[in-house]
Structure 1
Amino acid sequence: MRRPFRVLLCLAATALGLTTLSAPANAAAENYVALGDSYSSGVGTGGPYSGGGCKRSSNAYPQLWANSHKPASFQFAACSGAVTADVLNSQINSLTASTSLVTVSIGGNDAGFVDVITTCTLNGDSTCVNRVEQGKTFARNTLPARLDNVYNAIKQRSPSARVIVLGYPRFYKVPGSCSVGLSDTKRSAINSGADVLAEVTAQRATAAGFRFVDIRSAWTGHEICSSDLWLNSLTWPVEESYHPNKNGQSKGYLPALNAVTG
């Protein structure tokens, strides 16, 4: 009778060992690096900001994640205004072979985010729609190679890291409760640009073997012209405009990141 019992013990020990090996890494052992643009650096939260012109906020989702998970190390390299070339030329230096977790949001500035918003604010519907279409063409035809370059560089620098690519929200609720501002035609056009950017980014992230986090659904009901904004409309200082506010970072981006790192 003892032999079957010993077999059961061995099987139980084996199962326990397999469970231990397959469990997610402890956050305390993570070496986390946050790359990206202003949506990762936290512009729009009102500060306080550090990093000079990079404007890294203590209210940005990378810092909030680090505060709550207490990784072994945290490098906050995201920078306001960054394009893919900035990640390749400077931010990438924050990565090492020991980096185990990387987050990145990039591509919006390459696709002309600022110029699209400016054009749509200062011009009529047709000019706005045309500018958005130009941005969508760029996103489909030129941006993929730029994203591939970034993702390949991340893999080369940190081949063992989990890499999480976070997207951008739709900007506007259409129709919304805004009594002044952009027309529904302009709002719909801008949202369509966000959709194309999300689709392209998701495709390239998946092709690289990375996890893409699409936050558009989480943002539903919290766009500009909704009753519970997670995104600034035109505001002061102007650079805070059209960026996630504190709720956008803590209730939008952070839970989305928690969901894939938990």
Structure 2
Amino acid sequence: MTLHHPPAPARAALAAAGAVALFLTLAQPAGATPGTTGDLQEHYVALGDSYSSGLGIPTQTDADCGRSDSDYPSLVAGALNVADFTDVTCAGATTADMTQPQDSAPPQLDALRPDTTLVTLGVGGNDLDLTGVVTQCVLVGYLAPNGAPCKLSYTPLGSDIIGNRIKDVGSRIDAVLKEIHVRSPRARVLVVGYPGIVPDDGSACRDLIPFATGDFPWFRDKEKQLNSLLAEQAGGNDAGYVDLYGPSVGHDACQSEGVRWIEPQDTEQAAGFHPNAAGHRSAAGQVLAALSR
């Protein structure tokens, strides 16, 4: 008998739904001892940047921070039936904004309490000036569509500007995680990585993303380097790591509408170069799966 598998988007949705069902099955009743899944339902704080806030995804509940009621923190809180949920994710946030105000937004870590039981942290991309990198790659891609002009602009005389920025992020993430544990010693902490923006195989889609052809694999490699750094810092600071890159392979911004989880430009679904609602549903499934382990 031949088995007919659902298409990739359907399989991803089923996997996310399965993760939610699994976690809800495992959840313990109120009053469970610290460290159990039931305990995580008490107070959940979501920290992070626009990849966590759901920038551009309907419905936006905080225009200043680009926060959506369909971002993955909200989906996780709903699936866990969290009694007390605080989402302070904010577009443009850096590690510095965890402990200092970001325009009108207070320091994100101020949302933590001694009785906080779950924290997700998705930050680091803005410390690299990821928006500036994308802008640079688009600009030089228009001027020189072949080769890797963006890579060359960030590696003068054999240096590695972005690689060095990623290394610098390590100590900042380390400090943020240590402070989270100080403020919320009971909390289970998850560091959430970034999904794939460009194809994992290094192929180009200049009709959607006008990078030079050789800059697609370079950009991919730098994102992987950032995710590896985040996983390393999580492992060294008593935190879990949620891999969003692996599940997102095949759903990058080069894919067609309905398949992609990252929008290649501003659309009604999400901000350009940011996850759409499907991407956040996948992220929520991965967070829930991590919590069930």
Q: TM-score, normalised by structure 1?
A: 0.85
Whole-Å Cα distance in 1 between the matches of residues 33 and 207 of structure 2? 57
Cα 1:175/1:93, change in 2 over 3 Å: same
Whole-Å Cα distance in 1 between the matches of residues 286 and 37 of structure 2? 18
In structure 2, what is the equivalent of residue 164 of structure 1?
190
In structure 2, what is the equivalent of residue 32 of structure 1?
44
Whole-Å Cα distance in 2 between the matches of residues 54 and 109 of structure 1? 14
1:181-226 C-alpha deviation (Å, 9 max, x unpaired): 2233111111111011011111111111100111111001101212
Q: Aligned runs of 1:73-92 on 2, under 5 Å?
A: 73-89=84-100, 90-92=107-109
Cα 1:127/1:175, change in 2 over 3 Å: closer
Determine if the alignment matches structure 1 residue 100 to structure 2 residue 117: yes
The answer on whether the counterparts of 2:178 and 2:237 sit within 8 Å (CA) in structure 1 is: yes
Q: TM-score, normalised by structure 2?
A: 0.76
> Secondary structure of 2:37's match?
coil
Determine if the alignment matches structure 1 residue 257 to structure 2 residue 287: yes
Whole-Å Cα distance in 2 between the matches of residues 245 and 23 of structure 1? 32
In structure 2, what is the equivalent of residue 12 of structure 1?
none
> Secondary structure of 1:75's match?
strand
Q: Point out where structure 1 has 5 or more consecutive residues left out of the alignment.
A: 1-19
Q: Point out where structure 2 has 5 or more consecutive residues left out of the alignment.
A: 1-31, 101-106
In structure 2, what is the equivalent of residue 10 of structure 1?
none
- Higher relative CO (Cα under 8 Å, sequence separation at least 6) belongs to 2
Bigger helix fraction: 1
Determine if the alignment matches structure 1 residue 57 to structure 2 residue 84: no
Q: Aligned runs of 1:203-222 on 2, under 5 Å?
A: 203-222=232-251
- Percent of aligned pairs with the same residue? 30
1:208-248 C-alpha deviation (Å, 9 max, x unpaired): 110011111100110121241100102258x8110000111
1:87-108 C-alpha deviation (Å, 9 max, x unpaired): 1220000001100000010110
In structure 2, what is the equivalent of residue 11 of structure 1?
none
Q: Aligned runs of 1:121-132 on 2, under 5 Å?
A: 121-123=138-140, 124=144, 125-129=147-151, 130-131=153-154
1:125-150 C-alpha deviation (Å, 9 max, x unpaired): 5441033742122102x111111111
Whole-Å Cα distance in 2 between the matches of residues 245 and 67 of structure 1? 18
Alignment: residue pair count: 239
1:9-30 C-alpha deviation (Å, 9 max, x unpaired): xxxxxxxxxxx86983316742
In structure 2, what is the equivalent of residue 70 of structure 1?
81
Whole-Å Cα distance in 2 between the matches of residues 225 and 258 of structure 1? 27
Whole-Å Cα distance in 2 between the matches of residues 213 and 48 of structure 1? 25
Q: CA RMSD in A?
A: 2.1
